[in-house]
Amino acid sequence: MAQDQIELILYIYNMDISKTTRQEIINAGKIAVDELIKVAMSPILNGDDDDPEPEKLKNAAATKKLAIFDAFEILNRIELEKELINGESKTKESSIKGFAEGRSR
């Protein structure tokens, strides 16, 4: 999975996307994270139900979990894009190798 993400980042970096476009995408990502935080912070129980259905509680908890993980994923991607804009890429370029070649050190 991480290898796929690195390859995708390198592919996107090699695309002809201007710095202003990347910055606009970063700003949109920040707005999306703010919205996901609102979803994660909203209460599951609103006080109307005395005995809420377990399935409803399970779905609400799963939604909050997904919102939190998505927010972290977006934040990680924002940091990677900032590094690419500033030329501070910490990811190493990797050639396509098999499992054995990659671990033969």
Domain residue ranges of the chain, discontinuous segments joined by +? 2-93
What's the token pair of residue 72?
């972290």
Q: What tens digit of pLDDT does each residue of 25-56 get?
A: 899 999 999 999 999 999 888 777 677 788 88
Which contacts qualify for 33-39: CB closer than 8 Å, 24 or more apart?
Answer: 33/71, 33/74, 33/75, 33/78, 36/67, 36/68, 36/70, 36/71, 36/74, 37/67, 37/71, 39/63, 39/64, 39/67
What is the pLDDT at residue 100?
A: 63
**pTM for this predicted structure:** 0.63
Confidence bin at 68 (pLDDT 50/70/90): very high
Comparing 16 with 81, which gets the higher pLDDT? Answer: 81
Distance CA 8, CA 36 (A): 24
What is the pLDDT at residue 104?
A: 66
What is the pLDDT at residue 39?
A: 92
Distance CA 79, CA 81 (A): 5
